[in-house]
Amino acid sequence: MSKLSLPKDKIKIVLLENVHDNAVAYLRSHGYENIESHKGALDADDLKAAIADAHMVGIRSRTKLSKDVLASAEKLMVIGAFCIGTNQIDLHEAQCRGIPVFNAPYSNTRSVAELVLGQVIMLARGIPRRNWICHEGGWDKSAAGSTEVRGKTLGIVGYGHIGTQLSVIAEALGMKVRFYDIVDKLALGNAQSCASLRELMEVSDFVSLHVPDTTQTRNMITATEIGWMKPGSFLVNAARGKIVDIDALAEALRSGHLAGAALDVFPVEPASVEDVFESPLRGMKNVILTPHIGGSTQEAQANIGNEVAEKLVKYSDNGSTVGAVNFPEVMLPVHKGGSRFMHIHRNVPGVISRINDVFGRRGLNIVGQYLRTDEKVGYVVVDVDGMIEPGMGVRRELEEIEGTIRSRFLQCEEP
Ligand SMILES: NC(=O)C1=CN([C@@H]2O[C@H](COP(=O)(O)OP(=O)(O)OC[C@H]3O[C@@H](n4cnc5c(N)ncnc54)[C@H](O)[C@@H]3O)[C@@H](O)[C@H]2O)C=CC1
Ligand SMILES: O=C(O)C(=O)COP(=O)(O)O
């Protein structure tokens, strides 16, 4: 068992957006009892109030942890994104404040790929319109406009975890897969890469987007790119809403250039289930609209709950930053029968020698030292013999070193 410089019962954890109960159970089973759970996302003012004294925050895709919000959470030491995307967090600001961010990079991958493939089949058979007609008492029994997906070309933009998973299961249905990525990627199965986005858009019967929300991908798909698509083809977006110019998409659907679309994500999404969903695509009978549920399956949420909670506990109990998306990654062994100091600092010259001076002056024997830096931040972990008690002032001295962002320590007792 480790004792932390801040006792576990003083560590406040705020979970938002209905993070799965597995997360709460995991945190509790590791001694973290001070957990406050909120069902939805909060607006900036309520969020600031909720996390003002929090040490850990767990969110999903809707909670915006902006620079301003982070500035109001002075005690925050770690953030858990219980999802894949981290574009809702100001990662740079978090890093400058010495706050690592952990996410779940794979736990909902399969759920998204399955939803997208289902949507592709639904679009190919004109189900959105036919479903609508049946609900209104009609009976459009005809093959007009209906095709199999076998033999059709699926173009995947962003051949990462979700894109490749989709590629494999689409090929199992007999689809031809083409993909476009800015990074060279191993083509799985018989998939073939395209040299440009334009080539992909021109050859595909279905285009599915699986890129993250970055400055490069915002508005990646405008009227120009949609214009490259085959007449009568389909667009699917389960990545992020701001990747597609939604008005240009609406126009292409109205004009009949595109035969249909499926959207799981939108430039503006309601903050809570009470809010109204507004979109120029509402009412279009050739469009499937889903409320950002690509990753919302029982399996995915349960796994994410465990995975991210485990990363938060590992960081808090052991100092490990493996899997952090904005922070130098340090993998640490368990340190027994001694003390472990963790020091986060701006990457300026001389910090390490000053840290070592603090231990040297006190005759403390360093038995392990782990360091990783990136352009902005350094993270050094120092294991020393013996139990350093809080009153000894080592941590205070470490915090006085110029460039220090924050520090903490663990007493790692013999098991
Ligand atoms: N609808 C939903 O509920 C969910 C949506 N997502 C979204 O899906 C996105 C993708 O997820 P993963 O596949 O796990 O991410 P990933 O990081 O494994 O793959 C993304 C791929 O996009 C590529 N890429 C980046 N910029 C590009 C550009 N400008 N042009 C072409 N390719 C580019 C990357 O090289 C990478 O191969 C997430 O970032 C998230 O925004 C993720 C999970 C659930
Ligand atoms: O994992 C992601 O990036 C998602 O978009 C899923 O978001 P959610 O957890 O459903 O709010």
The average pLDDT across 3-15 equals 89
- SS percent in the chain: helix, strand, coil, step 5: 35, 20, 45
pLDDT at 39 over 60: yes
pLDDT at 38 over 70: yes
Question: Which of 20, 59, 60, 110 to probe ligand 2 with, by most ligand atoms within 8 A of CB?
Answer: 60
Q: Which ipTM score applies to this complex? A: 0.99
Per residue in 341-351, is it b (16+ CB within 10 Å) or e — as a string?
Answer: bbbbbeeeeeb
Question: Which of 39, 61, 162, 307 to probe ligand 2 with, by most ligand atoms within 8 A of CB?
Answer: 61
What ligand is nearest to the CA atom of residue 81? 2
CA distances from 138 to 130, 142, 284 (A): 9, 12, 17
Q: How confident is the model at residue 1 (pLDDT cuts 50, 70, 90)?
A: low
pLDDT for position 306: 98
Ligand 2 centre to CA of 80 (Å) is 13
pLDDT at 414 over 70: no
All CATH 3.40.50.720 domain ranges of the chain, comma separated, are: 1-108+297-327, 109-289
From 3-12, 14-23, 47-56, the region with the lowest mean pLDDT: 3-12
Which atom of ligand 1 lies nearest, measured to the CA of 213? 41
CATH 3.30.70.260 for the 330-415 domain, yes or no: yes
DSSP 3-state of 150: coil
Q: Which residues line ligand 2 (CB under 6 A)?
A: 60-62, 83-85, 108, 292, 295-296
- Whole-model pTM: value is 0.95
Percent of the chain with pLDDT over 90: 90
What ligand is nearest to the CA atom of residue 61? 2
Show Cβ contacts of residue 237 under 8 Å, excluding neighbours closer than 6 positions.
208, 209, 221, 243, 244, 261, 262, 263, 264, 265
Q: How confident is the model at residue 335 (pLDDT cuts 50, 70, 90)?
A: confident
The average pLDDT across 126-130 equals 97
Q: Are 224 and 202 within 8 A, CB to CB?
A: no
Q: How confident is the model at residue 415 (pLDDT cuts 50, 70, 90)?
A: low
The average pLDDT across 285-295 equals 97
Q: Are 281 and 74 within 8 A, CB to CB?
A: no
The residue nearest atom 8 of ligand 1, judged by CA position, is 239
Q: Phi first, then psi: what are they for 144, rounded to 5°?
A: -60, 130
Show Cβ contacts of residue 166 under 8 Å, excluding neighbours closer than 6 positions.
112, 113, 116, 117, 154, 156, 208, 210
From 226-230, 258-262, 409-413, the region with the lowest mean pLDDT: 409-413
What ligand is nearest to the CA atom of residue 237? 1
CATH superfamily name and code, 1-108+297-327: NAD(P)-binding Rossmann-like Domain (3.40.50.720)
Tokens of 86: 């981290």
Distance CA(5)–CA(392), nearest Å, equals: 12
pLDDT for position 165: 98
The answer to whether the CB of 161 is under 6 A from ligand 1 is yes
Question: Which of 62, 82, 84, 116 to probe ligand 2 with, by most ligand atoms within 8 A of CB?
Answer: 84
CATH architecture of 109-289: 3-Layer(aba) Sandwich (3.40)
pLDDT for position 6: 82
**Catalytic residue numbers?**
240, 269, 292
Ligand 1 centre to CA of 52 (Å) is 32
Which atom of ligand 2 lies nearest, measured to the CA of 86? 3
pLDDT for position 362: 87
pLDDT for position 4: 75
pLDDT for position 73: 97
From 68-72, 184-188, 411-415, the region with the lowest mean pLDDT: 411-415
Which atom of ligand 1 lies nearest, measured to the CA of 240? 41
CA distances from 358 to 197, 391, 400 (A): 55, 15, 10
The answer to whether the CB of 297 is under 6 A from ligand 1 is no
The residue nearest atom 23 of ligand 1, judged by CA position, is 158
> What burial class does residue 394 get, using C-beta atoms within 10 Å of its C-beta: 0-12 exposed, 13-18 middle, 19+ buried?
buried
